[in-house]
Structure 1
């Protein structure tokens, strides 16, 4: 999808409702950033412990929201996702906010049941809806800064980003990986080149790294004429500005 124009450049089964695993955490992060400040502090409780991927929180520790967001988006911490629900007063009201945000974005074929993406009844989305979500998320500068980080060290924690595309694809600005046995491999990514921003989504795709690279090669070939016009306009702007200045001098 061309994130700037909202135009789908290629799709296959784009509206099929499927499990989305940890790509769910894109919405989790977006809701947090709309309802909390990065410097807000959350106290971890035993209820925040979760199966699967983790940033290894300890019950009783206090953690800044920003650190939890790094743990959510880089480590894919299911514990971080549950801790962050405290921004809305707990799990149930937080999930309600996730679904409200989905409706506001027009994600008509999406339903969230939890903030971490573990398989659950009533938890699903589509490739098209996730592309819409990704395009909205990368507009948030804090989200963008965090998800594009290859690694970060905060205090005693060093967190590495699971997203290989940050190292393999020119212009990739990140987003989110995911996996459960039922969902298979899920991946939502965003790449920018020459002022053009594209988003790619694959669900239940065992060859997702290569497929995203191929989708970007295809997408940027399609958008090359538009990017050429933008470049021409940018190149014209300087001499036109100089000419206007000369007329008024």
Structure 2
């Protein structure tokens, strides 16, 4: 009897980057764009709006502030945490509901009851401008687009998420998988809609979004072996698998290198002979192995007749393969002041 052997071929879906409508992979530390497509194309952003809503709230109010829902909750629909009028929670609780359940009612309460709705929207756009989000405009705190529309790009959203990763409270909230609380009216149990938190251990947070007009949105961050990436996809339905595959690919292809060390940085200036020039932070950039010899650093010093200690007097600009990547401010301090500071530290250590 002949044996018939059947070979079963498993069709594993392969990520086709060219098929993505708009995306960005960004090195968090340097903001270098490692890969992108249509990253400056303006689109509706749905509930990824709530990253900005969270940051403006955290920068303008205390997480222990108690906010009570008013009639503003009646003006929204879609994803909700189902607040009753008169229901009260801390700002922290509302931010959890905003991020885990994408509560549009939570967004309205936060914006209305912290600094006032109109001021809140104004602050969202002020912060966007501060972060260099030049193609972004916020009209509401939730991302619904039936009456007003929030517009941004994949690049701008990556810049926003980069800033968000510096806020410990936001990052603590956005990676929660489950949260329970009891308000003055009822108990709530919320589970995070970000499914990637349960399937990719290196994910540190993010925000999903969807409306019929905007499509499927996802902004996320991940850390692996001390390296940090941000991924943004717009109008991508298979968003969780796509983000995971992009992280796996770019963590594998790139490594983080310290380009400038704040402890050893030294620039001698004939113009500022009696001063010491320094940077106050290391500069790290993710590179492919064959890019290590393509680094170029330009030192741009501004000549001033009068300077103050710790004043910015220039920039150290980093290029990879003649393309701008990042920069660091160069500060100035008198050599006498530096020596005095060093002696003070040595005296302290001696004691």
Instruction: Pick the TM interval, shorter chain.
Output: 0.7 to 0.9
Q: What is the aligned-residue RMSD (CA, Å)?
A: 1.3
Match for residue 123 of structure 1? Answer: 150
Structure-2 separation of matches of 1:141 and 1:37: 14
How far apart, in 1, do the equivalents of 2:199 and 2:86 lie?
39
**Cα offset for 1:110?**
0.3
1:222 offset after TM fit, Å? 2.6
How many pairs align? 227
In structure 1, the partner of 2:190 is 159
Residue 215 of structure 1 corresponds to which residue in structure 2? 246
Q: 1:173 and 1:122 mapped to 2: Cα distance?
A: 28
Deviations 1:160-185 (A, max 9, x none): 10001111113101110000000010
Superposition pairs of residues 1-249 of structure 1, within 5 angstroms: 1-49=26-74, 50-119=76-145, 120-155=147-182, 156-224=187-255, 226=257
Give the number of the structure with larger relative contact order, counting CA–CA contacts within 8 Å between residues 6 or more apart.
1
The Cα shift of 1:86 comes to 2.9
- Partner Cα distance (1:62, 1:173) in 2: 29
Q: Deviations over 1:39-82 (max 9, x none)?
A: 00111112223211001111011211000000000000000000
TM-score by length of 2: 0.63
Moved more, 218-227 or 163-172: 218-227
Q: Contact 2:206–2:221 at 8 Å: present in 1 too?
A: yes
Structure 2 CA distance for partners of 1:22 and 1:39, relative to 1, 3 Å: same
Q: Distance in 1 between matches of 2:130 and 2:61?
A: 19
Distance 1:99 1:167 in 2: 33
Q: TM-score, normalised by structure 1?
A: 0.88
- Is the 2:46–2:150 contact (alpha carbons within 8 Å) kept by the matching residues of 1? no
- In the alignment, is the contact (CA less than 8 A) between 2:28 and 2:228 conserved in 1? yes
Structure with the bigger percentage of strand? 2
106-115 or 162-171: bigger deviation = 162-171
- Following TM superposition, the consecutive aligned residue runs of length 4 or more in structure 1 with deviations greater than 2 angstroms are 86-90, 222-227
**Separation in 2, partners of 1:213, 1:62:** 37
For residues 203 and 40 of structure 1, the distance between their equivalents in structure 2, rounded to whole angstroms, comes to: 34
In the alignment, is the contact (CA less than 8 A) between 2:50 and 2:99 conserved in 1?
A: yes
Is the contact between residue 36 and residue 87 of structure 1 (CA under 8 Å) also seen in structure 2? no
For residues 48 and 42 of structure 2, what CA distance do their matches in structure 1 show?
Answer: 14
* Higher Rg: 2
Contact kept in structure 2, 1:74 and 1:147, CA below 8 Å: yes
Greater helix content:
1
**Do the aligned partners of residues 151 and 182 (structure 1) sit closer, same or farther apart at CA in structure 2, a change above 3 Å counting?**
same
Q: In the aligned structure 2, how far is the partner of 1:151 from the partner of 1:70?
A: 9
